[in-house]
A and B are shown apart, each in its own frame.
Chain A
Amino acid sequence: MLDYTKKEQYGRSALRINPAKTCQPVGAMYAALGVHECMPHSHGSQGCCAFHRMFLTRHFKDPAMASSSSFTEGASVFGGGSNLKTAAKNIFDIYKPKIIAVHTTCLSETIGDDLNALIQGIDIPEGRYMVHTNTPSYKGSHITGFSNMVASFINYLSVSSGKKNGKLVLLPGFVNPGDMREMKRIAKAMGVSYTMLPDTSGVMDGPMTGKYEMYPKGGTTVEEIIGLGDSRLTLAIGKFASEAGAEALKKKCGVSCKTLTMPIGIGNTDKYVMALQSFTKKDVPYGIEEERGQLVDILIDIHPYTYNKKAAVFGDPDTVLGIAEFVLEMGMIPKYLVTGTPGDAFEAAAESLFTRFGMEGCRAKASGDLYELHQWIKEEGVDLLVGGTHGKHIARAEDIPFVRAGFPVIDRYIHSYMPLVGYKGGMRLAELITNAIMDRQDRDSSEEDFEMVM
Chain B
Amino acid sequence: MENASVLDERKEFILYKQDGCSGNEMKCDANSVSGAVSQRACVYCGARVVLNPITDAFHIVHGPIGCASYTWDIRGSLSSGDDLYRNSFSTDLREPDIIFGGEKRLTAAIEEIAEKYQPKLIFVYATCIVGVIGDDVNAVCKAMSEKYNMRVIPVKSPGFSGNKSVGYKMACNAIMELISKHEPAKRKGVNILGDFNLAGEMWIIKDYLNKTGIPVVSTFTGDSCHDSLIKSSGAELNIVQCAGSSAYLADRMEEEMGIPYIKVSFFGIEDTASSLIRIAEALKDEEAKQKAIEFTSAETGKLQQFLAKYRKNLQGKKAAIYVGGGFKAISLIRQFHSMGMETVVVGTQTGKKDDYEIIESLVNKDTVILDDANPAELEKFMKEKGADILVGGVKERPLAYKLGIAFCDHNHERKHPLCGFDGVVNFTEEINRSVNNPVWRYINAEL
Q: Which residues from chain A sit less than 8 Å from chain B, CB to CB? A: 1-2, 4, 6, 10, 12-19, 21-23, 25-26, 41, 44-55, 57-58, 61-63, 65-73, 75-76, 83-84, 86-91, 93-96, 105-107, 110-111, 136-139, 141, 206, 208-214, 340, 371, 390, 393
Contacts and interface: CB of A to CB of B under 8 A. Distances in A.
B34 A73 contact: no
9 contacts: A2-B83, A14-B91, A15-B60, A23-B69, A47-B164, A50-B38, A106-B64, A106-B128, A138-B129
Given A83-B34, A86-B34, A46 B42 contact: yes
A293 to B, nearest CB: 34
Given A46-B41, A393-B86, 4 more contacts: A45-B158, A65-B37, A72-B161, A138-B64
A96 B45 contact: no
B37 A67 contact: yes
Contacts of A25: 66
Contact of A15 (B45, B112, B376): B112
B55 to A, nearest CB: 12
Contacts of A1: 83
Nearest to B39: A50
B66 A22 contact: yes
Interface in B1-53: 1, 3-7, 9, 31-45
A75 B32 CA distance: 13
Contacts of A18: 72, 87-88
B298 interface: no
Nearest to B403: A212
A105 B376 contact: no
A96 B5 CA distance: 11
Interface string B396-419: 011101111000000000000000
A45 B42 CA distance: 7
Interface string B53-94: 000000010011111111111000000000110111111111
A110 B93 CA distance: 12
Interface in B338-360: none
Central interface residue in A10, A22, A55, A86, by most chain B CB within 10 Å: A22
Contact of A50 (B45, B112, B160): B45
A15 B89 contact: yes
A69 to B, nearest CB: 5
Nearest to A91: B35
B38 A70 contact: yes
Interface in B139-198: 158-164
Given A4-B83, A50-B41, A45 B69 contact: no
Q: Which 4 A-B pairs have the closest CB atoms?
A: A47-B42, A23-B66, A87-B35, A90-B35
Contacts, number: 250
Interface centre among B88, B397, B401, by most chain A C-beta atoms within 10 angstroms, is B88
A15 B109 contact: yes
A16 B89 contact: yes
Nearest to B38: A46
A110 to B, nearest CB: 5
Nearest to A136: B95
Most buried by A among B60, B91, B112, B159: B159
B86 to A, nearest CB: 6
Nearest to B108: A14
Interface in B424-447: 443-444
A87 B37 CA distance: 10
A19 B73 CA distance: 12
Contacts of B312: none
Contacts of B402: 62-63, 206, 208-209, 211-213
Contacts of A22: 65-66, 69-70
A47 B34 CA distance: 13
Contacts of A96: 3
Given A47-B43, A47-B159, A76-B160, A54 B38 contact: no
Contacts of A70: 31-36, 38
A435 to B, nearest CB: 25
A73 B160 contact: yes
A6 B87 CA distance: 13
B395 A89 contact: no
Given A46-B40, A50-B395, A16 B68 contact: yes
Contact of A46 (B158, B159, B394): B159
| Most A CB within 10 A of own CB, among B38, B128, B133, B163 | B128
A15 B68 contact: no
Contact of B70 (A13, A54, A62): A54
A95 B3 contact: no
B404 A95 contact: no
B116 interface: yes
Contacts of B399: 63, 212
A16 B132 contact: no
B98 interface: yes
Nearest to B69: A22
A69 B35 contact: yes
A210 to B, nearest CB: 4
B106 interface: yes
Contacts of B35: 41, 67-70, 86-91, 94
Contacts of B64: 23, 106, 136-138
Contact of B112 (A14, A71, A73, A141): A14
A22 B261 CA distance: 41
A54 B394 contact: yes
Given A22-B65, A106-B128, A75 B160 contact: yes
A55 B3 CA distance: 28
Contact of A90 (B33, B66, B89, B397): B33
B223 interface: no
Contacts of A4: 83-84, 87
A139 B94 contact: yes
Contacts of A49: 38
Contact of B98 (A19, A58, A138): A138
Nearest to B44: A47
A212 B379 contact: yes
B97 interface: yes
A371 B402 CA distance: 38
Interface in B97-119: 97-98, 104-109, 111-113, 116
A90 B105 contact: no
A186 to B, nearest CB: 28
A110 B4 contact: no
Contacts of A52: 70
B41 A57 contact: no
Nearest to B157: A47
Contacts of B84: 4
Contacts of B93: 106, 138
Q: Which one of B70, B113, B161, B379 has the highest number of Cβ atoms from chain A below 10 Å of its Cβ?
A: B70
Contacts of B109: 14-15
Contact of B132 (A6, A46, A87, A110): A110
B386 interface: no
Nearest to B93: A138
Contacts of A137: 63-66
B375 interface: yes
A26 B160 contact: no
A107 B91 contact: no
Contacts of A76: 128, 132, 158, 160
Given A95-B4, A212-B399, A47 B65 contact: no
Contacts of B104: 14
B67 to A, nearest CB: 8
Contacts of B161: 72-73
A21 B112 contact: no
Contacts of B4: 94-95, 214
A47 B129 contact: no
Contact of A94 (B71, B94, B162, B376): B376
B129 A214 contact: no
A409 to B, nearest CB: 14
Given A50-B39, A138-B98, A44 B113 contact: no
B158 to A, nearest CB: 8
B128 to A, nearest CB: 4
